[in-house]
Structure 1
Amino acid sequence: MSDEDPLAPYLLAGRVAPAVDRVFTAAMRASRDRGGIELGKRYGGPAAIGFLIDFRTRLAAPYGVVSGAGFAAVTRYADPAECQRVLDKQLAHGMIHRVDGGFAATTRGHAFLQELYQLHAGVTAEIWSGHAERVARLVEALGRLLAAAATDGGDAFHAMAPPHEPDGTPPGVLLLNRLGSLRYHRADAHAAAWQAAGHTARSITALAPGPEREAIEAETDRRAAGPYEVLPPAQRLTFLADLAALPG
């Protein structure tokens, strides 16, 4: 297969990214609007739950800990001092506790995450109703992609993957969380690309569209391409088509 084949891994990585973002973001927005806001209020509101939602795939595990390095990588575009203040608020609400430079969920935090998983199960079953076969194919393919991504993923990816998947996790939750984890493989690839080009988190955020940004995006696609090698060309096309067909 030539490099110009539209299903070549480095080209596929660029095409898959916006589709993953669309499906994941739509499902998270639907969850917020269909019970998520009310659920959050019962546990103290945004000041209490924000990072629990972001890091749910790690913190929901019985002994899940987000390391300091993983937290810094996921929040690399935010102000570190402000992020620590947010963590302090969640600590004060009794939702997390500090562990070896990182943090983990408390008993109350785990109770919230259990309810969040249940909410996501109901919402994804509703919004993806009628797409059971498509969801199942995507879940299977994403499992293979995440396993492959573990070989070259960075700190942000490993803060989110592998996602916590207790026995009996519904397919919609598997799909939602596997999509969310895969996004961080590309996030690490993007960070590596702009760092190699001499940028900082602040300067890449301010970089205007143009040849330099296009070159960084192309390098991001190259660095994010590895996991897609595990899918044969026909499955790459099916994966992209299934993502495109999901509502959201």
Structure 2
Amino acid sequence: MSDPAVPGRGAAPDATSRNVEQVELPPHRFAGLLAPAVDRTFAAGMLAGRDGGAELSSQYGGAAASGFLVEFRTRLATPGGTVSGPGFAALTRYRDPATCRRSLDKQVAYGMLQRVSDGGCCATDRGLAFLGDLWQVHAKATGELWAGHDDRVTRLVTALGRVLAYALVLAESDEPGGFAAMAPPHEPEDSPPGVLLLNRLGTLRHHRADAHAAAWTAAGHTATSVAALPPGPERLAIEQETDRRAAGPYAVLSADERLVMLADLAALPG
């Protein structure tokens, strides 16, 4: 995966990475520690753009017109980008299918999306215009949120680019899921680092979501039953299996780089 607007890989680490304590951190353990840090940082970036996004959305018909465009923006903004029917099902696996279909119907009626033959969707010209404006909203919001943290954002963007590229290689023989539907994220040449970080984090979350779904499926659960599963040994076993299944792409990072990623995410505001 290319890294537009950030330095090339292999740059000398700064004081953050030089001062990281040498600690054994295998990929499966790292996957479990990383997930909440990714969720927190991604949520902070999306929250920073909420007001601007709501104002923009109102110009196109409101949330009922743009919900899936926002959610699937990194695929639908790609020229010719389509979320397939199976991809749509994977991305909405914890939601009521009939409700999702009605929501999609509304966004088609607003002229923002159009259906494709397998039940998936792609953006219309109006939808693409909305996504172009949303890109500007996220550029401004993340630039303000993470101002003064340029080195951290750059390191994270570069490391996440390596992780996502390796995840795509590993996923070539796997069943299609949410990650395959959304990766690689659309990254125009003029994308600022904050937007790259936000969207790469979002894409990585789908990789873990697929790992989690595979883990609870192997344990005999459905999306409904696993959501109702109380804390205890069975849930812990599913989370540990999720970590194991999600771990593969992190082998591309050294133990030092894994620790630096955790430290950088923890240091970002939000």
TM-score of the aligned structures, taking structure 1 as reference length: 0.96
TM superposition shift of 1:6:
4.8
* Residue of structure 2 aligned with 1:29, choices 39, 47, 50: 47
The question of whether the paired residues in 2 share the 8 Å contact of 1:128 and 1:246 is answered with yes
Query: Which letter does structure 1 place at the counterpart of 2:68?
Result: F
Aligned to 2:146: 128
Q: What is the CA deviation profile of residues 201-224 of structure 1, one whole-angstrom value per residue up to 9, with x for unaligned ones?
A: 100011011110000000000000
Q: What is the CA deviation profile of residues 8-38 of structure 1, one whole-angstrom value per residue up to 9, with x for unaligned ones?
A: 10000000000000000011011003x1111
The question of whether the paired residues in 1 share the 8 Å contact of 2:154 and 2:193 is answered with yes
Aligned to 1:52: 69
Report whether the alignment pairs 1:211 with 2:229: no
Aligned to 1:86: 103
Q: What is the CA deviation profile of residues 60-93 of structure 1, one whole-angstrom value per residue up to 9, with x for unaligned ones?
A: 0111000001100010000111100000000000
**Larger RCO, structures 1/2 (Cα 8 Å, 6+ apart):** 2
Report whether the alignment pairs 1:168 with 2:190: yes
Report whether the alignment pairs 1:18 with 2:40: no
Q: What is the CA deviation profile of residues 171-226 of structure 1, one whole-angstrom value per residue up to 9, with x for unaligned ones?
A: 11000000000000000000000000000010001101111000000000000000
Report whether the alignment pairs 1:185 with 2:207: yes
Report whether the alignment pairs 1:104 with 2:122: yes
Query: Which letter does structure 1 place at the counterpart of 2:147?
Result: S
Q: Distance in 2 between matches of 1:128 and 1:90?
A: 32
Q: Distance in 2 between matches of 1:117 and 1:103?
A: 20
Q: Distance in 2 between matches of 1:117 and 1:146?
A: 21
Aligned to 1:199: 221
TM superposition shift of 1:99:
1.5
Q: Distance in 1 between matches of 2:109 and 2:24?
A: 51
The question of whether the paired residues in 1 share the 8 Å contact of 2:27 and 2:247 is answered with yes
Query: Which letter does structure 1 place at the counterpart of 2:25?
Result: L
Aligned to 1:137: 155
Percent identity, aligned pairs only, is 66
Report whether the alignment pairs 1:75 with 2:92: yes
The question of whether the paired residues in 2 share the 8 Å contact of 1:47 and 1:90 is answered with yes
Residue segments in structure 2 that go unaligned for 5+ positions in a row: 1-22
- Distance change (3 Å), C-alpha of 1:75 and 1:6: farther
Match of 1:62, SS state, is coil
The question of whether the paired residues in 1 share the 8 Å contact of 2:24 and 2:255 is answered with no
Q: What is the CA deviation profile of residues 92-138 of structure 1, one whole-angstrom value per residue up to 9, with x for unaligned ones?
A: 00000112221100000000000000100000000000000100000
Q: Distance in 1 between matches of 2:66 and 2:253?
A: 36
| TM-align CA RMSD | 0.9
Aligned structure 1 segments of 4 or more residues deviating by more than 3 angstroms: none
Match of 1:49, SS state, is helix
Query: Which letter does structure 2 place at the counterpart of 1:29?
Result: L
Q: What is the CA deviation profile of residues 146-182 of structure 1, one whole-angstrom value per residue up to 9, with x for unaligned ones?
A: 0111123641001111000011111110000000000
Q: Distance in 1 between matches of 2:219 and 2:259?
A: 31
